[in-house]
Amino acid sequence: MIGAIVAGNLADIYGRKKILLIGTAGLLTSLLATSFAPSFGVFTFLRFLDMIFTGGKHCVSNPYFMENLPDKHRMWMATVVTYSPNYIIMALIAKLCEDWKTLSRVAAAITLLPLIMLPYAFLRCSCVKMKN
């Protein structure tokens, strides 16, 4: 909730794209740092940061993608591509990882993919909007 409040307000001031990139980078960093936590206290603090970035990222990404997706694709993207299947996929990944440190590193690697793809998506979206 803290992340959602802060990121939502910052997105209104600085724009959703910038805050979405910062939130994704923060999520990646906190996930990776969590896997190297030397104690339970440090682990708990890093997971707290992770949840702040997660809340902020979800708060900003949902409206951003709904604004930029065509009307005919909004419903299935919001349901099929987001939550439901990801719970099953993440459970399978957790089973394969077998320990929380590996799982945290794999989750960080998965988070790296959107961070790499987002600038391209932002550029493509801007070009399409300028064309119309």
Report the CATH number that the domain containing residue 79 is assigned in CATH. Answer: 1.20.1250.20
Give the pLDDT of residue 44: 95
For 13-30, give the DSSP string.
HH-HHHHHHHHHHHHHHH
Range of the domain at 124: 2-131
**How many domains does the chain contain in total?**
1
Structure confidence by residue, pLDDT tens digits, 103-122: 999 999 988 888 888 777 66
CA dist 67 and 74 (Å) reads: 9
Give the pLDDT of residue 86: 82
For residue 24, give the nearest of 116, 106, 131 by alpha carbon: 116
Task: Point out the residues of the chain with pLDDT beneath 70.
Answer: 81-83, 121-132
Give the pLDDT of residue 75: 79
